[in-house]
Structure 1
């Protein structure tokens, strides 16, 4: 299993049997979608779902499958996709993507909470915009580290609750280089050895 970070919350999984992407949003490199079998979207916000780009790619790759919560219909319109919810398991690229969670974290009481699902792939967990702790073991956590819906203390508490031996940060496009350095320094001090940054465009084997 090879994982490549394509910016913000977007990661691509490549196996010997195929490839798929989670959360190709407006802050991520569209190259993530090249020749993939499937796209998994956690929720409808544009930093996780770049619907114009998805439409463009589907014109060239109509066999590409798209999965996500039912509320995606609000932004995808007539684009065909398969609705998934907590408890589902989707076979793809020689592995299985398990669906975990139901709701986006609260941004503010005045802002409605939208559906959000996380995806667990061979022990690698992408939570989307939520603090969902899976019932199944997690060997690698893709942890959101900066967002309007979280503060650093909540990020640390979430990482500790999941208790994965490896933590790679995601959801960081709104940070400057200086901001990333501050967040990383604090997480290294508070989390320690499990925290390992993957730079955009870098591939790791998991």
Structure 2
């Protein structure tokens, strides 16, 4: 399986000629949408969901009820999934985890639903949460910047999830200096290698 990182939180997985796209948002490059056979969306915020470009794809979309409400025009192409549910998307085995977006400000409470995805029992994408999977994974996608957390929770999440390697996502707000700093911090966690992919770079899983 091949994993390609795109801008911010968007990744694309390729296996047996099929392409599964996760969280193609408004920051994502047009190339991310090419050849997609199915799409997973963790939550409704525009940095993870580009309604216009997603609507133009003639492919199935798997997501939570909040996103499905925004994609009503797509009809039965949208499937609602929830915590603990296992399903298949474009030939990829997927399991859903969690239900809430991380709290940004206490007075605002939980801003929306959020579901993470474990794909092929190998790659875990948490969306905007630190909900961990219930098993060891090969590649843990770690959010490394955002208004909903600071460095310590990201480090604790990287320590908590048993994985063979970590890859940084949710990084559009970081300068090269910030990216370098997070690489140093995450590379020191649990003896797991940290792979700092830049948009367009790929790795084999």
Find the residue that maps to 2:195 and give its secondary structure. Answer: coil
Matched, 1:107 2:104: yes
Aligned equivalent of 1:187: 186
Instruction: Give the 5 Å matches for 1:46-61.
Output: 46-55=46-55, 57-58=56-57
- TM-superposed CA distance for 1:191, in Å, is 5.0
In structure 1, list runs of 5 or more residues that go unmatched.
none
Match status 1:119 vs 2:114: no
Distance 1:92 1:190, change over 3 A: closer
Aligned residues: 201
Matched, 1:18 2:41: no
Structure 2, unpaired ranges of 5+: none
Structure 1 residue 138 displacement after superposition? 1.5
SS at match of 1:78: helix
Superposition TM-score, scaled by structure 1 size = 0.91
Partner of 2:94: 97
Who is 1:138 aligned against? 137
Distance apart, 1:74 and its partner CA: 4.3
Q: Contact 2:68–2:80 at 8 Å: present in 1 too?
A: no
RMSD over equivalenced CA pairs, Å: 1.5
- Give the conservation status (yes or no) of the 8 Å contact 1:15–1:93: no
CA distance in 1 between partners of 2:19 and 2:157 (Å): 28
